[in-house]
Structure 1
Amino acid sequence: MTTDKPAKAPMYQYIMDDIKRKIETGRLKPHDQLPPQIDLANQYGTSEITTRRALSELVLAGYVYRIRGKGSFVQEHSAPSEAQAMREIYFVHRDHDATNFNHPFFTDMFQGIRDVCMENGIGFHVWDMGEDYALPEDKQAGIVLLGNPSFDLSRLAAWQTEGRKIVTVHFYYPHLGIPYVIVDNLTGGYLATQHLISHGHRRIGIILTGASILELNQEFSLRLQGYKLALSQHQIPFDPELVSVVSGEVESTSMGRTGFKQLMALPNPPTAVFATSDYKAMGALNGARELGLIVPEDVSVMGYDDVLISALTNPGLSTVNQNTRKLGERSAEILLFELKDAEVRSVKDEIVPALVIRGSTGPVME
């Protein structure tokens, strides 16, 4: 199938040279998929460890890129120059409290970015741009940017002009045409509410974070929209009385307890409550216990986020997993494989969350 291996060449080097030769002569074309490691091992009469090293070295040399769960592919611009090569990806934020990064939204996302980076020989770091909006000096670095409502949009426009390779996560700015990857919070809110409706609940309360129903941030506003959509599809009228908006700088159990007790004090209280974060849902569980209510027999409680402790509550908390590991993978893949040179493309990807059903939700009790 190929020329004989020189006696003194390491086998991984021989495989590398053979694949490079096929790329350079056009036998392998840009974005062609290479055989899996086990198939390459069989072709070259060697081990998977050896073919794995050969592919890793080809990635580092700029001939091959990897997509997690799909395989290895030929780079469009083989062996790029150092000036063009992306060697680092940074998760960039502005004065974000580092303790919040322990939330699974971030830890799972970081793991997704890191997995893709490791597979492609790319460094991964977290970077606080601070008050002066300082990005890393490496102009070829990929930027996964954590936006927020108070972000100075002129900075984003300036970075676009500089040709910075940026993907935003969590918040997005469609008018600027900057690629973004977000969790589909509308679908998440819909799935949570639909699950409660499937158990026969028609009076479903919702606890949101904000100063008022008109002053919700992007994610909670979308979860509310999903809640309302699920109700409308089942011809259940939207009742503003069943919406509890609680203010707070960070999610907490006290917010959930407050919101839950507001809802249960209604003349016609809900039979189920969708707390739009697990921390608020845990507060709702506490509130139910203080009121002498049994979950889920007297009232069902639904959370959102799937934090680690949600599986350990009693009963275990039904919730929504945001699938942010996939969000991290996609943001890194867009930077590495879908933004070529200084080209500006409008790339949008929404990650669909998933229901996690545990013991805190159940059918309406007659």
Structure 2
Amino acid sequence: MTVRPEKITLAAVALRAGVSAPTVSKVVNGREDVSPDTRARVIAALEESGYQSPLQRRASAPGQTVVEVVFDALTSAYSVEILNGVLEYAGATDVEVMLSVTSHAGGTPISPERRAQRMVDAGRGGMIVVTSAFSAAQLHAFRRRKIPVAVIDPMNPPPTDVVSVGATNWAGGKAATEHLLQLGHSRIGFLGGPETAECNQARLHGYMAALMAKGLTVNPAYTISGSFRSDHGAQGLKELLSLPEPPTAIFAASDIIALGVLGEARKNGLRVPEDLSLVGFDGTYQAEESIPPLTSVAQPLQEMGRAALRAVLRQIHGEALDSQRVELATHLVIRGSSSEPRPVTSHS
């Protein structure tokens, strides 16, 4: 005789949580009109009882694994190369990839609990978050529902139980700055991404370490953080050029920032590298195709995408992970945008 597992009802969950069945239904469907304390009790009761909604039961049936990849925006070569790595590994492992772009969502922001529940109900097996400012509360909402998550270059430090994938940002920042120092530059600017972003902080600290190892003082006026956008590179160069002693070289914390510097330099009649040396970070195809080709710290972007999906799939299959932190090596690629500083001519 076949014994069917007992079906857990909303009423049973409500009894366990000490609330009404309609209240449990509101939580399951991501409604906002439930107090935080009541929501927490209901979520705990749902987890303890093993309740699954009809959509969840349908999604848990055998079939192809679906992983959602979340970008803040899909407009840069950095994002495209990471996505290519994810798609390549997905194709080799018969995984379906769904894309989500948060900056184009519009409307009222979705609460962490509702977004997590929607993913469960849609049958997503796991999630990869790329350079997004997802908060610990948002990530915990996914973890509470046992949705495997991996974050790539997180803006905020993720919870310790969430897998993060990145590159050796500190070593890369140090290598970029050491290259400019070896060429003979001593006035080196830093144009970074968001000030609190983990990867930006590491690249900045690598830059500072290289200067201090050379016995140079870090000039606060030379370090400007902002965003990983080309307009930040353009605006940052304007600010640096307004200084009494502008830098002779710039380390930009992303290739897209460096491209903004290149464009603004041309507008100001500056030649790169004759008048201004420039090093980027990412090693994207844009660095190879720029004029002049951009010296850049190359990240293994496609491998980062593959590593993130590999970590998510291992969690889905219940396998133990070697580490919650995956850090892949960077390397400096020297091209045409960096050279020795122009000799100072005497007017005496």
Q: Extract unaligned runs of 5+ from structure 2.
A: 1-58, 344-348
> Counterpart of 2:208 in structure 1: which amino acid?
K
1:311 is aligned to: 288
Separation of aligned partners in 2, 1:85 and 1:347: 28
Q: Deviations over 1:15-52 (max 9, x none)?
A: xxxxxxxxxxxxxxxxxxxxxxxxxxxxxxxxxxxxxx
2:98 is aligned to: 125
How do 1:63-212 residues align onto structure 2 when only pairs under 5 Å count?
87-93=64-70, 96=72, 100-127=73-100, 131=110, 132-133=114-115, 134-137=118-121, 141-146=125-130, 148-149=132-133, 151-171=134-154, 173-210=157-194
> Counterpart of 2:142 in structure 1: which amino acid?
W
TM-superposed CA distance for 1:306, in Å, is: 3.5
Separation of aligned partners in 2, 1:128 and 1:294: 37
> Counterpart of 1:162 in structure 2: which amino acid?
R
1:348 is aligned to: 325
Aligned-partner SS, 1:163: coil
* Bigger shift: residues 198-207 or 330-339: 330-339
Corresponding pairs, count: 273
Q: Extract unaligned runs of 5+ from structure 1.
A: 1-81
Q: Closer, same or farther in 2 for the Cα pair 1:227/1:113, shift >3 Å?
A: same
TM-superposed CA distance for 1:128, in Å, is: 5.5
Separation of aligned partners in 2, 1:191 and 1:289: 26
2:24 is aligned to: none
Work out which of the residue numbers 228, 234, 241 in structure 1 matches 2:208. 228
* Bigger shift: residues 108-117 or 122-131: 122-131
Separation of aligned partners in 1, 2:91 and 2:242: 53
* Bigger shift: residues 192-201 or 287-296: 287-296
Asked if 1:239 corresponds to 2:222, the answer is no
TM-score by length of 1: 0.65
Asked if the contact 1:166/1:178 (under 8 Å) is kept, the reply is yes
Q: Deviations over 1:195-240 (max 9, x none)?
A: 2122121211112345xxxx44333222211211221222222111
Q: Deviations over 1:126-150 (max 9, x none)?
A: 246862413153667132134633x
Separation of aligned partners in 1, 2:61 and 2:218: 54
Q: Closer, same or farther in 2 for the Cα pair 1:365/1:178, shift >3 Å?
A: same
Please list every run of at least 4 consecutive aligned residues from structure 1 whose deviation after the TM superposition is greater than 4 angstroms: 82-86, 342-346
Aligned-partner SS, 1:360: coil
1:323 is aligned to: 300
TM-superposed CA distance for 1:321, in Å, is: 2.5
Aligned-partner SS, 1:221: helix
Q: Closer, same or farther in 2 for the Cα pair 1:236/1:112, shift >3 Å?
A: same
Separation of aligned partners in 2, 1:112 and 1:196: 31
Separation of aligned partners in 1, 2:321 and 2:272: 51
Aligned-partner SS, 2:177: helix
TM-superposed CA distance for 1:264, in Å, is: 2.7
Aligned-partner SS, 2:119: coil
Asked if the contact 1:167/1:180 (under 8 Å) is kept, the reply is yes
> Counterpart of 1:160 in structure 2: which amino acid?
R
Separation of aligned partners in 1, 2:254 and 2:101: 26
Q: Closer, same or farther in 2 for the Cα pair 1:255/1:167, shift >3 Å?
A: closer
Asked if the contact 2:66/2:124 (under 8 Å) is kept, the reply is no
Q: Closer, same or farther in 2 for the Cα pair 1:125/1:256, shift >3 Å?
A: same
- Please state which structure has a larger fraction of its residues in helix: 2
Asked if the contact 2:297/2:333 (under 8 Å) is kept, the reply is yes
TM-superposed CA distance for 1:106, in Å, is: 1.7
Q: Deviations over 1:265-312 (max 9, x none)?
A: 322222211122333323322333344333212221122233434333
1:259 is aligned to: 236
Asked if the contact 1:140/1:165 (under 8 Å) is kept, the reply is no
Q: Deviations over 1:43-99 (max 9, x none)?
A: xxxxxxxxxxxxxxxxxxxxxxxxxxxxxxxxxxxxxxx9697832423427x3xxx
> Counterpart of 1:186 in structure 2: which amino acid?
W
> Counterpart of 2:185 in structure 1: which amino acid?
H
TM-score by length of 2: 0.68
Aligned-partner SS, 2:270: coil
Identity %: 26
Asked if the contact 1:297/1:362 (under 8 Å) is kept, the reply is yes
Separation of aligned partners in 2, 1:103 and 1:195: 26
Q: Deviations over 1:324-345 (max 9, x none)?
A: 1010111122223366528688
